[in-house]
Amino acid sequence: MRFTPAQLLYAAIAGSLLTLSSLPALSDPRDDNYPFSTYPMFASRRKTPTFYKAEGRNAHGQWQPIPPELFGTHEVMQAVMTVQRAARSPRDARKLCEDLARAEPNRYGKMRIVQVTYDPVKYFTEGPTPQSRKVLAQCGRRSRAHESRQKVQAR
C-alpha cells in the first residue's frame, strides 16, 4: 500500500499531537501544562487544606471575602491562584493587599490577606469554624472611629 505525501503529512501531524497528548501519562500529575495536560483536577486527596484569601472590611466593620472581579477576573480559581502565589512571601502578600486596596478604595476601609485552615467536610456538616487563622498582610486607610477607639484604649 502506497501513501500520498498528504497522507504522510497528516499522519505525522496527528501522530505528533496524539503522542504529545499521551506523554503526560508518564509524568507527575502535578506537573500540569497546556494544552498537553495531566488533568489533575479533583484527583488529590485533601485533608485539612490551607486557604489563602483576601478580605475587605466594609462600612459596618465586618470582614467580607473580596470577590474575583477585584482581581480582574470572573474566574474564582484564577483569583484563588493569585492570592496563593502572593502568600508565598510577606512582601508579595503586602503588595497584593495594596493593589486590591487601590483598585477599590471606597468599598472597603481595610483589606487583609489571610491564611485559614479548615476541615472541608466539617465546614458543612458541623459549622464553618476554622482550625487555624493567620493574617499575612493588612493594609488600607484607618477609619476615624477606629483610630479614636485605639487612642481611648491606649489611655
Which residue ranges make up the site for other proteins (CB under 8 A)?
Answer: 4, 6-7, 9-11, 13-14, 17-18, 21-22, 24-25, 28-30, 32-47, 49, 51, 53, 64-68, 71-82, 85, 99, 116, 118, 120-121, 123-125
Q: Which three cell numbers stand for residue 50?
A: 490551607
Nearer to other proteins, 103 or 146 (CB): 103
Identify which of 150, 154, 84, 75 has the alpha carbon closest to the alpha carbon of residue 114: 84
Nearer to other proteins, 28 or 151 (CB): 28
DSSP reduced 3-state for 44: coil
H-state helical runs in the chain: 5-22, 76-86, 90-103, 120-125, 144-154
- Min separation Cβ 67 and other proteins, Å: 5
- Min separation Cβ 140 and other proteins, Å: 18
Nearer to other proteins, 5 or 154 (CB): 5
CB contact at 8 A, 93 and 136: yes
Nearer to other proteins, 41 or 145 (CB): 41
- Min separation Cβ 76 and other proteins, Å: 4
Strand partners, 150: none
- Min separation Cβ 24 and other proteins, Å: 6
| CA-to-CA dists, residue 96 to 108, 135, 137, angstroms | 15, 13, 9
